[in-house]
A and B are shown apart, each in its own frame.
Chain A
Amino acid sequence: MTSTMAVLLPKGERSPRAMAWGRFARNPLAMAGALALLLVVGLAVFVPILFTIDPNAIDLKAVRQPPSSAHPLGTDSSGRDVLSRLVSGAQVSLSVGFAAAAIAVCVGALVGAIAGWFGGKTDAIVSRVIDVFLSVPTVLVVIVVAGILGPSVPMLVGIIAGLAWPASARIARGVVLGLKEQEFIQAAKVSGSRSGFIIRRHLLPGVLPPVTVAATLLVSEAILLESALSFLGAGVRPPQASWGNMLTEAQSLTVLSSMPWLWLPPGIMIALTVLCAMAVGDGIRDAIDPKRNT
């Protein structure tokens, strides 16, 4: 079957990367996701510069007000403007998400590539570590550590990244193991290239595409983790706004039943941002390898 297919497909003229970009561009869901994500990021970055309502400004005379011209999304239990808190929360949630994902992916890809390339004992140990780490629930670890040392954002990013790198490592390791057997790598070895060089020039570019997909999915996971932990009080603490801790107020039945402006916007923003990140991740994955079964 494979030889038949090879004989059927005409030769393409563009580079694989250009073709992948093309495929991504033609994927409506991925493009929509990417656009929306850019919008959210743009909002988080530019709105605070342009409109200066202090998200932490308490106004006890205007507690729990419904949306009005002064406060487009109303005010919370301390009279703070919900919209500006939403934007401020975007900054935090997005930063945590991107930072944790970036660290985890960089560390993971490197470790995975090294383990896969050198094999032997290194690989065995790394694989064991990967297996165990993959089942550790980040939420619970953060709760325990935050309970002892007190919640903090750097700790949050550190723990999320620290527990998420094995996933990228496993992907990178898989790619490297596959590439190791290929002829062009054997040729490089035989012609005397040093391991570091091979890893940098030949292996990492191959590792990059699937790891990028993992990175986008990691961003969405990190955002969900941060929001859940902030909601529980183990993440971002007030007065700093976060989409998660804005939802803590909604635990009161009064708020839940009659003040939708307090809890619907942050929840929707979380879902939206995560959906966009997932759409982009899926889009990249399909762009790289359109023949995938799933």
Chain B
Amino acid sequence: MTAQALLEIEGLCVGVGKANESLRILRDVSLDVDKGELVGVVGESGSGKSMTALSILGLLPPALDITDGAIMFDGSELTSVSSAEMRRIRGMRISMIFQDPMTTLDPVMRVGKQIEEAYLIHHPRHSRQVARARAARVLGLVGVPDVARRMRQYPHEWSGGMRQRAVIAMALVNEPELVIADEPTTALDATIQAQVLEVLRTAQRDLGVAIMLITHDLGVVAQYADRVVVMYAGQVVESATTEELFADSRHPYTAALIESRPGRAVPGSTLSAIPGQPPSLAELPPGCPFAARCQAPFKSERCFTEETVLAPSRDGRLSACHFRDVSGVFA
């Protein structure tokens, strides 16, 4: 990690209600994204990865609030920035891609116009022609064929994969510094998934855009991410470069996730799955949230009593496990 990361989330806590009694959705989440790098944020449903993303742009649902922590973006503290300033950042310096392309676009507005709108919001003095040209260009960039005709169509005339490309185009039209992609391929077919991810990678390489890619699919992360952040039960449990993570994970949850990928199973044997369920955030047990399901040989009493904190191991690996120094035990 470089000294001045583009995005620095430090100790972020999000809960329902502001008082001490609040239900904590995110506990002490810290992660960085550097300029131009692709960070994969991985976790099961309910691990808090989407909430983290929404917090950055102030898009949390009304019931939730940021109760603690800081989000630094290029020197500005996003949690305390004015709403006018936040509107300047959204769509211009930080863009977001949501999960379901079928519902992300306005159904009664032509696709081209929606992308032009993304441009014109931040360039109000520019003409419609300029906006149209920019929109056409970025649509071509994401691989939409027959752009001129397609732009005049409505979203329901586009397929799911195409719509997601339009959404990515909308996110890229102002050449932002950071794109947050919240499970951009989960709602798409496997073949389309690969195409859409390639579009993102192209954007990263050609435009120098940093990408925060949120997904539950380790395979995607392995293939595209420079660094990986693993989340569980609202906390970050491990953070490392992709090679380090897959070669030598320092958290039993990460190891179990890697182990449970279908690709790793020996044909004929049963797939290994992580037994049990993630804990209810309302009834988090003391100690490590993963303790009940942990299969590590070194699991001890400590895991059920002592709170876990994301901290560096002796050789600089970030993990929340008490036994972060133990390496290569579960290959």
Does A touch B (CB under 8 Å) in the complex? yes
Asked if residues B61 and A7 are in contact (CB atoms below 8 Å), the reply is no
Contact of A10 with B by CB under 8 A: yes
Residues of B250-283 whose CB lies within 8 A of A:
278-283
Contact with A along B52-66 (1 / 0, CB 8 A): 000000000100000
How many Å lie between the Cα of A177 and that of B223 in the bound state?
43
A7–B281 contact, CB under 8 A?
A: yes
Check A10 against B51 for contact (C-beta < 8 Å). Answer: no
Tell me if B51 and A4 are in contact (CB < 8 A): yes
Q: Does A3 count as interface, using CB distance less than 8 angstroms? A: yes
Asked if B50 contacts A7 (CB within 8 A), the reply is: no
With A and B bound together, what is the CA distance between A9 and B278 in angstroms? 14
Asked if B78 is at the interface of the complex by the 8 Å CB criterion, the answer is: no
What are the interface flags for B16-32 relative to A under an 8 Å C-beta threshold, 1 for contact and 0 otherwise?
10000001010000000
Residues of chain B with a CB closer than 8 A to A9's CB: 282
Chain A residues whose CB sits within 8 angstroms of the CB of B282 once the complex forms: 7-10
Given the complex, which residues of B lie within 8 Å of A10, measured CB to CB? 280, 282-283
B45 CB within 8 Å of chain A: yes
- How big is chain B's contact interface, by range? 10 to 19
B46 at the interface (CB under 8 A from A): yes
On chain A, the residues within 8 Å of B281 by CB distance are: 4, 7-8
**Using Cβ atoms and an 8 Å threshold, which residues of chain B touch A6?**
46
B50 cross-chain contacts in A, Cβ below 8 A? 1
CA–CA, A7 to B46, complex, Å?
A: 7
- B residues within 8 A CB of A3? 45-46
Bound complex: CA A9 to CA B45 (Å): 16
Report Cα–Cα, A9/B25, bound state, in Å: 12
> In the complex, what residue of chain A is closest to B47 when comparing beta carbons?
A4
Residues of A within 8 A of B16 (CB): 8
CB distance from A245 to the nearest CB of B (A): 49
Size class of A's contact patch?
under 10
Nearest Cβ on chain B to A294's Cβ, whole angstroms:
16
Main secondary structure of the interface of A (DSSP, over half): helix
B-chain residues with CB within 8 Å of residue A1 when the two chains form the complex: 50, 61
Chain A residues contacting B46 (CB-CB under 8 Å) are 3-4, 6-7
For A2, the closest partner residue in chain B by CB is: B45
- Complex Cα gap A8–B48 (Å): 12
Bound-complex Cα distance A7 to B16 (A): 13
Cβ contacts A1-32/B at 8 Å (1 or 0 each): 10110111110000000000000000000000
Against B, the Cβ 8 Å flags (1 = close, 0 = not) of A153-183 are 0000000000000000000000000000000
| A7 vs B50: C-alpha distance when bound (angstroms) | 15
CB distance from A1 to the nearest CB of B (A): 7
Measured CB to CB, the closest approach of chain B to A24, in angstroms, equals 24
By the criterion CB–CB under 8 Å, are B45 and A8 in contact? no
B16 and chain A: residue at smallest CB distance: A8
Q: What is the CA–CA distance of A6 and B283 in the complex, to the nearest angstrom?
A: 12
Query: Chain B's nearest CB lies how many Å from the CB of A107?
Result: 36
A-chain residues with CB within 8 Å of residue B51 when the two chains form the complex: 4
The reply to whether B61 and A8 form a contact with Cβ atoms under 8 Å apart is no
A10, B281: Cα distance in complex, Å: 10
Q: Mark B279-307, 1 if CB is under 8 A from A, else 0.
A: 11111000000000000000000000000
Chain B residues contacting A4 (CB-CB under 8 Å) are 25, 45-46, 48, 51, 281
Chain A residues, Cβ within 8 Å of B283:
10
- Measured between beta carbons, the chain A residues less than 8 angstroms from B45 are 3-4
Binding site for B on A (CB under 8 A): 1, 3-4, 6-10
| CB-CB nearest 7 A-B residue pairs | A3-B45, A3-B46, A7-B46, A4-B46, A8-B282, A7-B280, A8-B281
**With A4-B46, A7-B279, A8-B280 already in contact, 19 other A-B pairs whose C-beta atoms are closer than 8 Å:** A1-B61, A3-B45, A3-B46, A4-B45, A4-B48, A4-B51, A4-B281, A6-B46, A7-B278, A7-B280, A7-B281, A7-B282, A8-B16, A8-B23, A8-B25, A8-B282, A9-B282, A10-B282, A10-B283
Contact sample, A vs B, 27 pairs, CB 8 Å cutoff: A1-B50, A1-B61, A3-B45, A3-B46, A4-B25, A4-B45, A4-B46, A4-B48, A4-B51, A4-B281, A6-B46, A7-B46, A7-B278, A7-B279, A7-B280, A7-B281, A7-B282, A8-B16, A8-B23, A8-B25, A8-B280, A8-B281, A8-B282, A9-B282, A10-B280, A10-B282, A10-B283
